[in-house]
Structure 1
Amino acid sequence: MAIPSFRFSIDRGGTFTDVYAEVPGEPGFRVVKLLSEDPQNYPDAPREGIRRILESVTGKIFPKESFPAENIEWIRMGTTVATNALLERKGAKTVLVTTKGFRDLLQIGNQSRPKIFDLEIRKLDLLYEEVIEVDERVRIIKESEKSDPDSGLEIAEGTTGEKFAVLAKPDLESVSKELEAVFEKGIRAVAVVFLHAYAFPEHERQIGKIADEIGFEQISLSHEVMPMVKMVARGDTTTVDAYLTPHIRNYLESFRSGFSDNLEKSQLLFMQSDGGLTDSGNFKGSNAILSGPAGGVVGYAVTTELGQPVIGFDMGGTSTDVSRYGDDYELVHETETAGVRIQAPQMHIKTVAAGGGSRLFFRNGLFEVGPESAGAHPGPVCYRKDGFLAVTDANLVLGRLHPEYFPKIFGSNENEALDFESARKAFEKITAEINAYSKERKLPAMSLEEVALGFLRVANEVMVRPIREISVMRGFDIKEHALACFGGAGGQHACAIARDLGISKIFIHRFSGILSAYGMGLADIVVEKQEPSALVLPENKVDNSLNYLLKNLNKLAAEAKTELLAQGYKSEQIEIKRYLNLRYQGTDTALMIPEPDSTSKYDTGITNCELGISESSPELQKNAEKFPDYVSAFRETYLREFGFDLTGREIIVDDLRVRAVAKSPGLQKFPLAKKSGTPEVEDRTRCYFMAESSGSGRWQETPIFRLENLGTGQRLQGPVIVMQNTSTILVEPGCTAEITEYGDVLLNVETKTFREIGTQADPVQVSIFGNLFMSIAEQMGRTLQRTAISTNIKERLDFSCAIFDETGGLVANAPHQPVHLGAMSEAVRQQVKLQGDNLKEGDVLLTNHPIAGGSHLPDITVISPVWQGEKPIFYIASRGHHADIGGISPGSMPPFSRELKEEGACIKTFKVVENGIFNEAGITELLLAPGKIERNPGEPAISGTRLLSDNLSDLKAQVAANQRGIDLLLEMIEHYSLEVVQAYMHHIQNNAEEAVRNMLKTLSVREDLAEVDILEANDFLDDGSEIVLKLTIDRREGSAIFDFSGTGPELWGNLNAPRAVTHSAILYSLRCLINQEIPLNQGCLNPIQVIIEDGSLLAPS
């Protein structure tokens, strides 16, 4: 019998399939890259890659249809089969079975709008074709009901220890008939999602049993798929599982059938979204979404070995994935893919629509990169298919890519080299367009090379933003990280990305072009177990709750370990990792906290542990005294992530999680021979670079080396180009490259020097500063979202964060709610006017009054001035919707209020922070003040805020978000100078103004209007009140007058709109009409005049 000697690691991507194999003989490995879909030449890409390598190494013929796998020890694969089926909606026909009254829950989702300016909103199809509503209902009962024998409630205990009242049991006969009916329609997959099923699964189990008896082939029960709170995410995840698992199962059967022995003696493992391998029988829809990208994270995490945290940078053709690795894989437990929320452990990978194929535009004075992509067909201009100008073309014309080192696979017959001349002609055209624009504005002309490099610099800034999000925005110092670069295009941008981030080391693996495939061979085999909880995590070590947690963690560990032992792994190979998913009482942001002490003191012999022992047994109590300090670990993590701690609040255990890891033997390393002396130059070329110190660009002679011709220890001084089989590495001037023992490339990047930037507008710098200001606003928003208590802010994203210039004019914001966009600027100006000379450094202002730039009262605006010397130089503000601030009804939005005071606390201006001290007593008094208002008999009573502690927490979160913005702005000033930052604030506003003027001129021509024309419209409220608009568009200047004269008088009710809200509506409409990514700021309103009559419903008294 032949001895197994081949090991295959495969990444089946959407376009290409990469195969890395360990093989007998020299050099010990093989690499194959082939198209994932090529039905004319082979039925399955991974199997074809295996076949080619077997033929190459053995010299034998292996038929394409089917061949034996007797020499294959194992195959490890990551695949986009599930992701593609989800994107293309090609999964199994599925029926959703859910609690009566919730049939539309998954369709409604959480009401978030990822593209708030898109006038053509396209929602992806639902995953399920039919819905069956079941009249079943349980609810968690109150403490007072538990001891009331007369309540008449049927009470049952859930898996979390909570008590549930069973209000309605499912009519199983009726459900059976409905399931049989959809079965007759050809549906074979069922997803069952009931309210509270994560902790009370009995009703789901009953439905699952019926479905099994009927003959459904895929039955996904939410409490089994992911037993976590949040019905929408749990429901989506369960539906994904039912929808995709049959598709995955079909692919696995097809893959196995291509081997004559059905892989019976070979191990077949698949990469899960969490970076762990699982056997093919456990590979299912809910854990397969990031199967491919997870391999890349494992690849760089295991191989970098620099003794510092690492940022993963995977730049491909259409997008770039970024991730972070510290001491462990960073996982998230709720994400959204293809319009579906997935509640399952997944690698924390952020994707941005910028890659080698990202298209380049010059619009309204801005250099824009993406999000549109040239794709593979037609591709960039240089692909010879009449494609679009893209990032790849910029790298080509600047000498960073070389056609002679690329395969001749371009052109209509796919047999030609990259087309340098066509790419250059395309840049000549856009350069002429840019210079014509600049000439009109008396700006300096740009060379073709400066234009191409300008686009690359903008592309780099676009890609840097998500890196900041996964590092800086979570409390990590980015400068302490190394950058691990992989993917086909990553090496061309590595030095520039690292320099922009302040990173000094870059690691590029020998197989960086196929690192996702290589990572499959390095991954460990993982089994995860999880169960919900509702316990308060005690700080007292003798609390009996610790016994319960310990017992259940050990139970989960035993179950997970038993599964791995059954797969043939030995006990000494298995490592148990325990986690508690913790959150503060009253919040819904849970953090998955790993066991603080990695060496467990209490898990000896867990496979034989007595699972039925009493929680008060001496053994368990003794171990509970050694229970790790999860409390301190949680507080430290919370403080790092959010910048403050909610001391005094109880810590809730939402979930217990155990990860059993069977350590993989991994792949062999093949060292290079040591070489000394000057490396052999393969070729020489010229590349265009910009000197960071002067800002001027020039061509420099650049030697080219082949990585396979270099040896361990050889060093290269930039500029040089190192060619790999599947990628190009650009070592920029001032950087050095060193070849490591195993053929990896370690780059050292010089610290970024300050480059003098003038205050005159530079189109490239306007684009870069636009991204920088937006990044600051986004980081503020991220801080606020994660630190706030209110569901309105955290989940509905009813908040906005913004930066304002010294006059209070909007510069940049992270928009979530259109009604905030134009109103916040008015709020800032009103506060400056109201406070006057009373405003001091260290003060933070608060307002919510409609007359002072507010919208409705629950929207509270917090404003922080940024000082230099005696006056503010900027303002930072955040506006968030608070769950309650008093009034005649909970929620502070009563439907029948007639006076403002009936809606809660009204605050024109208040120093919520004075001299750096949070004025808790003062704001508490204001929020409770409505409760002291005396009412006439028969009038509804007015309450103060009903959620004071939440209000205070949310206000502190807003202050923290503002401080984050201030810190980032001051960093920018330190780097560029105050004069430059302020100049570019105004340049960006001017750019937005120009975009609006151009849009109005274009609209006037398109609609065949006169040079100055008037459009009129009116609309009516339910009570008959009229809103009148006369819109005058002046094509000569690109201006407009919005005249609301004739609008009905103010109402004795709550449907009046403050002036600031009308400005918001106008700004939002203008931005939607522009239909292009522009900085949304005060400049948009500069060409606009607004006329509103006092006393109308748009300007109430």
Structure 2
Amino acid sequence: MPQLLSVDPSNYKDAPTECIRRILEKVTGRAIPKSEKLKLDQVESIRMGTTVSTNALLERQGERCALITTKGYRDVMKIGMQARPSIFDLSIKKLAFLYEEVVEVDERVTIETFAQDPNPQPIDVEADTALTRGVTGDIIRVIRKPDLEVVKKQLEELWDKGFRSLAIALVHSYTFTKHEELIASLAKDRGFSVSISHQLQPMIKIVSRANSATADAYLTPVTRRYLESFGEGFEGGIDAFGNKLLFMQSDGGLCTWNNFSGLRAILSGPAGGVIGFTRTCYDETEGVPLIGCDIGGTSTDVSRYNGKLEHVFETAVAQVIVQAPQLDINTVAAGGGSRLFYRNGMFIVGPESAGAHPGPACYKKGGPLAITDANLVLGRLLPEHFPAIFGPNEDEPLDVEASRKLFTEMAEKINSARGVTQDKLSIEQIAAGFLQVASEAVCRPIRTLTEARGHESSKHHLVMFGGAGGQLGTGIASSLGISRIIIPRFSSILSAYGMSLADVVSEIQEPTSLNLGHDVSSAIKDRFAQLENTGAGRLSAQGFSSKSIRFERYLNCRYQGSATQLMIAQPEDQDFTAAFIAEHQQQFGFTLQDRAIMCDDIRVRAIGVSGISDINSPYADFKKASLTPFAGSQYPAKKVFFEGPGYLDTAVVRLDSIVSGNQVLGPAILFDTTQTILVEPGYIATVLSEHVLIDLHTPPAPPAALDPEHVDPVKLAVMGHRFMSIAEQMGSILRQISISTNIKERLDFSCALFSPDGGLVANAPHIPCHLGAMSHAVRFQANLHGDTLEPGDCLLSNHPSAGGSHLPDCTVIVPAFHQGKIVFWTAARAHHADIGGMAAGSMPPFSKEIWQEGAQIKSFKIVKKGVFDEAGVKFHFYDEPGKYPGCAGTRTLADNISDLKAQIASCHRGAMLIESLVQQDSLEVVQFYMAAIQRTAELAVRDMLRTIYKKHEGKPLQAMDSMDCGAEIHLKIDINPETGGATFDFTSTSPQVYGNLNAPTAILYSGVIYVLRSLLSVDIPLNQGCLLPIEIILPKGTILSPSEDAATVGGNVDTSQRVTDTILRAFQACGASQGTCNNLTFGYGGQKVDGKQIEGFGYYETIAGGAGAGPSWQGQDCVHVHMTNTAIGDVEIIERQYPVIIHEFSQRVGSGGAGKFRGGDGCVRDIEFTRKVDVAILSQRRAIAPYGMCGGEPGAKGVNQWIRKTEDGVVRLINLGGNNECVMNAGDHIIINTPGGGGYGLPDDVSDVGEKYASPQGLLSRANGFLASFYNQQNTN
């Protein structure tokens, strides 16, 4: 089998064509010149995957294209979901958009009804000519039809500018397709290649569809050109292939080349690997679920299989939302080419990669150290059995000396940093350490992937494949507690082999809006039949007979009022309702008995069976095999280094010399022409006809005792991953068991580990306003209770004076005991949807006293010796808040109890995992490395502060900023250059206000730790160490240290932003960002009239603005900043759920402050209400503009306006100010203009300015399935 580098332009134009040429030479026995076109007469089928689309997307090298969208939404892709991609990146670099130009068409439709209406009334569609029904059955109001003559002129202008590829995405086109079809028809007539959003994936969410349509318009022409170029190597060109040429799609199905599109090609390569391991390794009779690890050159692709392929339908690749069916594959930045670094006393693997060119150091092209070099130096690879395709001329073997040379240089650096008092590390110890860190880097997301869906990692078997899979399997399995590793016969080329096993698939999906509780079975059956006829027709045209076509049926379901959808495969009894309930219970740990189950989409996969089907099960083969020890080998034993014993004589065995049933006891290296498999000591390999099984044979020896006096950099890195993994697993449990939307869907929570004194060790996810605050809550409880707590006790707190942020954020705190002593703490803070008070949602815009904001709990033992105190919860959440005038107890007590139990379970899970870690490594070691990780962060901050001291020549750093009410925040920072410590003095800050803008002291600490982490240029563990160099001086009674009875709900969302602006101003880091969250609420109902509660709804959102410019960057437009990163609802979902029409959500052009680097622009959000509602706005920077820095001009102030239609028909424009509440009638608008960011540098010095949109650099994940979605949601709060 030919083995070629994927890119080698000096030796061949295209690797797949060259492979086919060499295969044909072998088959025909005739030399075929590279210049000769290949004949297809002896080719039965060519099945391929390609990274052409993926690379074009990641590298931004696609086709010039334009986007056509609804008026008011030209910035739909720029704003997206308004969250910034990286929380701690002040420059907020986004990748360039795929389109070059946007054209707005003056058309508009909306949904006539709204799902949250508690008293829906029947509507006569025939009585109003503006009404019609959409594909989903929803009633559509056509507000404006497009003027087609105007559209023609717009298309002509695009044509004259050279555009030939268009994307069309209009609001609500997933259900009302007519306007897109009209515009598409005109565009096609003019000669454009057109990507139409509702045809590509007819699912709700305009942001996702617009991204997907633009991605298709951007990628499909590139894909087509590649196909034509590939065809040039064959007689007759691409058209000569007919149905012989099949391409793998992202969903795991093949399609003919002429049906292959860029949008569905993004996971073309890794999808083959998933099909490969699922078809070759899963046994339906055994039923053991599998975790697949495809370890390639730059990364590892992780997936899970339990009898059916798992798909996701919306992912983000290189900051582009792709709405299309894709296998649930998750990329981890660790592969054979992942680079190795020593930073801040820690071993770091990736995410940077050596790539295929120049590749690792051993490729002899001047590349850096990588994982492959570590394996080679340790003797785990066999260079003499690798093809000679390395070096400048692609004709040399792997070079172990090149690897050893760079490891020797690294060893000198590491040993010098460790000092003379510690034993020197050999290059073998260093290389083995990096492999251990790499294995742990892969294990951490696997734990999250499985645990977040209610599965235990240890109950899976591990399938290893890819170029580096055979070398890392035992290390990963050992860390995960997995007892069996399966390596398929073609493990190194399983992605390619998987394509030979795959079937041709046609996906058909349509949106709907069905209540499964109603009698809709016949309607669903008819829709399935229609879709199956469509799929069968497509496959029949490709030569498939009806006997070779099968169908898979799915419904995309959710509970009414929830956005969490589950794609449910049709069960044998065809009871989709029962299947949905069972799957919801499995994944989330609960069901909602009183909620209707809604179906949003009907989906059919039409499958033309065409792949290889006679594959032996590894489990069946193992059971019937005659197991015998393998004796002897034609190769001499090799010295291989293993952590612990060092060098061991290791058997080297060629796989084709072993018969099925032979067993090889480790240590051993098994190899053939395509793979190298390491069997570590303590494991036994069983060779079968088509697999190698590696099972744990003897328990591993306990690790050598670690020196508690000196830090081992390998253990430091591994422990960092372990601590973060525990926090992430806590988060998985909380999300899985919780019931409220805030926690389950918005992930408005944080889980964390703390040292015995309450110092932060690891925190996940990172919600900025929780970062420094939670340790205050833990310390308060630790000091309050002392040694009186016992195992089984859990504490609850939310009060600002006890380390809380604002009252809805409730914190459960659990002491972790070992031998009767508290050795760690775990805590989970979560935002509860309601905890009582004067307003539904417990975030009143005009609260003056804290009791108006709901339940106040300084310390409550919610669980005592394992017994949950439900009566106490009712007292604190319902009885006590309701005693105050004008206030009520919680309106969601059942949800509160369920979510608190989820938080308790999360904390107990963390405590259990800590105990497991202590049992494995000893308490002394675990706590030593806990302190060491905090020390790593501390040293990084101290070094940074020393650098800042030199930059400012030792001068004190001072700043002042004001709230719109006139309250001032004053700060003076003094840095000690000797220690690297600093004093943050907030003396002269204004007294607390009679309002709700008071910020608890814990919020101040969150702002400090956020800024310090953001100023660091390197990635460090985020923990209490960041604050250890800082002393904060803060007089009592200020707006940042209010009294216990002060209202604080606005301090958490707005004053927190002013805190960060003030600190950044003192450091002269950047211009001010928008400085507010722009909190908007609207709704009605909730109050009681004549003793009867009025049913209604409530809605809350925060709105993005402009980011401040900095010394080397332009401020980003339309993005959330600093202490929040909340995603905003898609217009199509909001209009379906609530009585609103969002006429505009766009960039507020020109609102960013001028400067050498201009501040980012804010947003314009124009919302019309279609019924009477209560509206409240809580915002800042309406009176005081966001400052500019170093001569830069301030950003524009925000403006809140009410377009009010009076009863006599007069329309008035009313300025609402920064904070207000009012009743708006049907036809009224609220228009929110959010602030811009401050500029940086003098406006007349505009040379060498930075770009807002970056060129792709480093590793960008191609496969972002469920796991990436989980992490992204963690960062959007």
CA pair 969-531 structure 1, distance change in 2 beyond 3 A: farther
1:802 paired residue number:
752
Q: 2:537 aligned to 536, 556, 562, which one?
A: 562
1:49 maps to: 19
Aligned counterparts of 1:514 and 1:270: Cα–Cα separation in 2: 16
Q: After superposition, where does 1:495-894 map in structure 2 within 5 Å? A: 495-538=474-517, 544-597=519-572, 628-666=574-612, 678-690=631-643, 696-742=644-690, 744-750=691-697, 752-753=699-700, 755-756=702-703, 757-758=705-706, 760=708, 761-785=711-735, 793=743, 797-833=747-783, 841-867=791-817, 872-883=822-833, 885=835, 892-893=842-843
Change beyond 3 A, Cα 1:537–1:148: closer
Give % identity.
50
Per the alignment, residue 58 of structure 1 pairs with 28
Report the equivalent of 2:1115: none
SS of 1:649's partner is coil
Deviations 1:207-264 (A, max 9, x none): 22332333322232x2221122233223222222222222222222333343223334
Q: 8 Å contact 1:479–1:502 — kept in the other structure?
A: yes
With 833-842 and 367-376 compared, the bigger mean Cα shift is at 833-842
Distance 1:897 1:355 in 2: 54
Question: Which amino acid counterpart does residue 961 of structure 2 have in structure 1?
Answer: D
The answer to whether the 8 Å contact 2:111/2:138 transfers is: no
The equivalent of 2:999 in structure 1 is 1057
Shift of the 928–180 alpha-carbon distance from structure 1 to 2, 3 Å rule, reads farther
8 Å contact from structure 2 (residues 175, 511) kept in 1: yes
1:249 alignment counterpart: 224
User: Match of 1:610?
Assistant: none
Gaps of 5+ in 1: 1-30, 598-626, 691-695, 936-940
Cα separation, 2, equivalents of 1:1053 and 1:861: 24
Structure 1 contact 360–367 (Cα < 8 Å) conserved: yes
- Tell me how far apart the structure 2 counterparts of residues 826 and 954 of structure 1 sit (CA, whole Å): 22
Q: Answer with 461-470 or 167-176: which moved more.
A: 167-176
Q: Which whole-Å CA distance do the structure 2 matches of 1:651 and 1:911 have between them? A: 37
Among candidates 57, 65, 89, match of residue 94 of structure 1:
65
Which residue matches 1:1030?
Answer: 972
CA–CA separation in structure 1 for the residues paired with 2:734 and 2:5: 44
Is the contact between residue 112 and residue 797 of structure 1 (CA under 8 Å) also seen in structure 2?
Answer: no
Question: Could you say if the C-alpha distance between residues 1014 and 774 of structure 1 is closer, same or farther in structure 2, counting changes exceeding 3 Å?
Answer: same
Pairing of 1:1085-1100 with structure 2 (within 5 A): 1085-1100=1027-1042
Deviation at 1:293, TM superposition (A): 0.3
Distance in structure 2 (CA, Å) of the matches to 1:41 and 1:378? 15
Preserved CA contact (<8 Å) 1:679 1:714:
no
Counterparts of 2:145 and 2:774, CA distance in 1: 51
Give deviations 1:145-194, integer Å, cap 9, x for gaps.
64367997833222222323333333333333323322322222222223
| Structure 2 partner of 1:11 | none
Partner of 2:1258: none
Partner of 1:349: 329
- Rounded to whole Å, the distance in 2 between the matches of 1:474 and 1:445 is 44
Distance 1:818 1:525, change over 3 A: same
The answer to whether the Cα contact below 8 Å between 2:85 and 2:94 also exists between their aligned partners in 1 is no
Residue 972 of structure 2 corresponds to residue 995 of structure 1: no
Matched, 1:215 2:191: yes
Deviations 1:913-959 (A, max 9, x none): 56656666655665567985776xxxxx7676666666565545444
Aligned equivalent of 1:275: 252
Deviation at 1:527, TM superposition (A): 1.5
Q: Which 10-residue stretch deviates more, 868-877 or 390-399?
A: 868-877
Deviates more, 1:975-984 or 1:845-854: 975-984
Q: How many angstroms does 1:271 deviate by?
A: 0.7
Are 1:387 and 2:363 an aligned pair?
no
**Which residue, out of 95, 98, 111, partners 1:127?**
98
1:284 alignment partner, SS class: coil
Alignment-mate amino acid for residue 848 of structure 1: N
| Offset from partner CA, 1:362-396 (integer Å, 9 cap, x none) | 22222222222233344333333443232222222
C-alpha distance in structure 2 between counterparts of 1:69 and 1:708, whole Å: 32
Aligned-residue offset at 1:740: 1.8
Q: TM-score, normalised by structure 1?
A: 0.86
Greater mean alpha carbon deviation, residues 647-656 or residues 310-319:
647-656
Give yes or no for contact 2:683–2:698 (8 Å, CA) kept in 1. Answer: no
User: Relative to structure 2, which stretch is displaced further, 859-868 or 388-397?
Assistant: 859-868
Contact 2:340-2:369 within 8 A present in 1 as well: yes
Distance, in Å, in 1 between the alignment partners of 2:895 and 2:844 is 20
User: Does residue 440 of structure 2 align to residue 461 of structure 1?
Assistant: yes
- Secondary structure of the 1:471 match is helix
Q: Does 1:1071 align with 2:1016?
A: no
Quote how far apart the aligned CAs of 1:889 are: 6.1
**Larger RCO (CA under 8 A, 6+ residues apart):** 2
Which consecutive unaligned segments of at least 5 residues does structure 2 have? 1044-1277
Determine the C-alpha separation between the residues in 2 that align with 1:85 and 1:840.
58
Q: Give the counterpart letter for 2:604 in structure 1.
A: V
My pick for the range that moved more, 209-218 or 830-839, is 830-839
State how far apart, in whole Å, the 2-side matches of 1:156 and 1:1049 are: 58
Q: What is the letter of the counterpart of residue 721 of structure 1?
A: I
**1:507 alignment partner AA:** I
For residues 771-808 of structure 1, give each alpha carbon's deviation from its aligned partner in whole angstroms, at most 9, with x where no partner exists: 01101212233444466566655565543221122332
SS of equivalent residue, structure 2 residue 1025: helix
Matching of residue 258 in structure 1 with residue 233 in structure 2: yes
Q: CA–CA distance in 2 between the matches of 1:697 and 1:996?
A: 38
Query: Deviation per CA, 1:388-417, whole angstroms, max 9, x where unpaired?
Result: 232222222222124333344444454444
Distance 1:118 1:590 in 2: 32
Alignment pair present for 1:303 and 2:280: yes
Change (3 A) 1:1079 1:676: closer
| 1:556-584 Cα deviation digits (max 9, x unpaired) | 22322332233222222222211122222
Task: Tell me if structure 1 keeps the 8 A contact 2:835–2:889.
Answer: yes
Deviations 1:985-1024 (A, max 9, x none): 333323333333343345445x2745xx633333343445
Query: Is the deviation greater in 121-130 or in 984-993?
Result: 984-993
SS of residue paired to 1:506: strand
SS at match of 2:4: strand
2:3 is matched with which residue?
A: 33
Decide whether aligned partners of structure 1 residues 859 and 167 sit closer, same or farther in structure 2, where only a CA change above 3 A counts.
Answer: farther
Deviation at 1:80, TM superposition (A): 0.8
Q: Is the 8 A contact 1:801 1:879 kept in 2?
A: yes
Once residues 555 and 323 of structure 1 are traced to their aligned partners in structure 2, the CA distance between those partners, rounded to angstroms, is 32
1:310-352 Cα deviation digits (max 9, x unpaired): 2211112211111112211121222111111122221111111
Amino acid at match of 1:996: V
Letter in 2 for 1:58: T
CA spacing shift, 1:952–1:129, aligned 2, 3 Å: farther
Structure 2 CA distance for partners of 1:867 and 1:1026, relative to 1, 3 Å? same
CA contact (8 A) 2:757 2:782 kept: no
AA aligned opposite 1:313: C
State the partner residue of 1:478. Answer: 457
Give the CA deviation at 1:984. Answer: 3.3
TM-score of the two chains, using structure 2 as the length reference: 0.75
Query: Match of 2:381?
Result: 401
Structure-1 residue corresponding to 2:1212: none
Q: Contact 1:196 / 1:229 at 8 angstroms: preserved in 2? A: yes
Q: Matches of residues 61-210 of structure 1 in structure 2 within 5 Å?
A: 61-62=31-32, 64-133=35-104, 134-142=106-114, 146-147=121-122, 154-210=130-186
Given that 1:218 and 1:245 are in contact with CA atoms closer than 8 Å, whether structure 2 keeps it comes out as: no
* More divergent stretch after superposition (222-231 vs 378-387): 378-387
SS of match in other structure, 1:73: coil
The separation in 1 between residues aligned to 2:179 and 2:855, in whole angstroms, is 45
